[in-house]
Structures are given as C-alpha cells and as structure tokens.
Structure 1
Amino acid sequence: MDQTTTTTEDVKAVLVSVLGIEDRAASIDADTELLGSLPELDSMAVLELVAALEERFAISIDDDDVTAEVFENLNTLAALVDEKR
C-alpha cells in the first residue's frame, strides 16, 4: 500500500468521523464526490474537516487551499494532505 492509498484511507476516516456518517462509510471510496454529493458537507462541516485534518496530520491548510477542486473527492483531498506534509 503506497502512501497516497494510506493517506486516502486516513482522510476518509477523518471525513466519516467529522460528518458522523459511519453508517455510510462503506459506500465512500477514493472517487466519491464530496461537495454536492454529501449533504452533511456544508460550509461549517468543511471548516470542521479542515481543522480535524490539520490536527490529525499535523499540517497547516491555508484558506487559499480550501477550494472546490480540493474537495472534489477523497483523492484530491488526500493529495492536498500529502502536499502539506
């Protein structure tokens, strides 16, 4: 398992926890669209998710990094986390 796969799984775990969607975790994979597809992921949840990712991975995510492209799917979000490490 390469680092990106591991990061994707770790980011998924944070996402599922922050959004409280443990019951739907199995249906979320690396290509699952996030914004617009997960009703729980509203603007407040994005802020909570960013804070949780910063804490979990000991990184700093700038406001400029929080874009629709980054939150397109788990892969794009994991790529940001890897970039910030």
Structure 2
Amino acid sequence: MNVTEQVLRVLDEALSLQGRAQAFRRETPLLGALPELDSMAVLALITGLENHFGVAFSDDDMNGTVFATVGSVSDLVQQALNDQGA
C-alpha cells in the first residue's frame, strides 16, 4: 500500500467519511471542498497521520496549502518519512 492509499484510509477515519475517501485521487481538493474538514477535523487528521505513520510534523509544516489536496497531504507525509529515514 503506497503513502497516498494510507493517507486516504487515515483521512476516511479521521473525518468519518464512511469509505468515501477511497474514491479520492491525488488531485481531489480537501480544505474548502469537504465540509467535514473543519478546524477540529484538521487536528484529528494531523494526529491520525502522525500516529499511523509514526512521524511528527513541525508547526512550520502546517499551513492551508498542506491540506489543499490529497496529494499535498501525501507529499507532507512522504517528506516526513524521508526526513526520518523511513
């Protein structure tokens, strides 16, 4: 399972999308496009990603563009994995 597929699983769980995220692609817009992705859900998503992948994101990594699309979230996770040598 690649990073994007795993991100979709965490996204689906964190936002309680009941499987809808499995139809998302890298270019699928998130922030501003999914009503479920509010400020509290962003926190749940960050925590879910950190727990699932065993990474920690710095505050400097967090901004609105990170949550623009599935691909931008996946890229953030991939970069965190690369930074820790995974």
TM-score computed with the length of structure 2 as normaliser: 0.86
CA RMSD after TM alignment? 1.4
Unpaired segments of 5 or more residues in structure 1? Answer: none
1:40 maps onto 2:7 in alignment: no
1:11 maps onto 2:7 in alignment: yes
What CA distance in whole angstroms lies between the structure 2 residues aligned with 1:31 and 1:12? Answer: 12
> Helix, strand or coil: the match of 1:70?
helix
- Matched residues, number: 81
How much does 1:25 deviate?
A: 2.6
Runs of 4+ in 1 over 3 A off after TM superposition: none
Higher relative contact order structure (alpha carbons within 8 Å, sequence separation ≥ 6): 1
Letter matched to residue 19 of structure 1: L
How much does 1:23 deviate?
A: 4.4
Unpaired segments of 5 or more residues in structure 2? Answer: 82-86
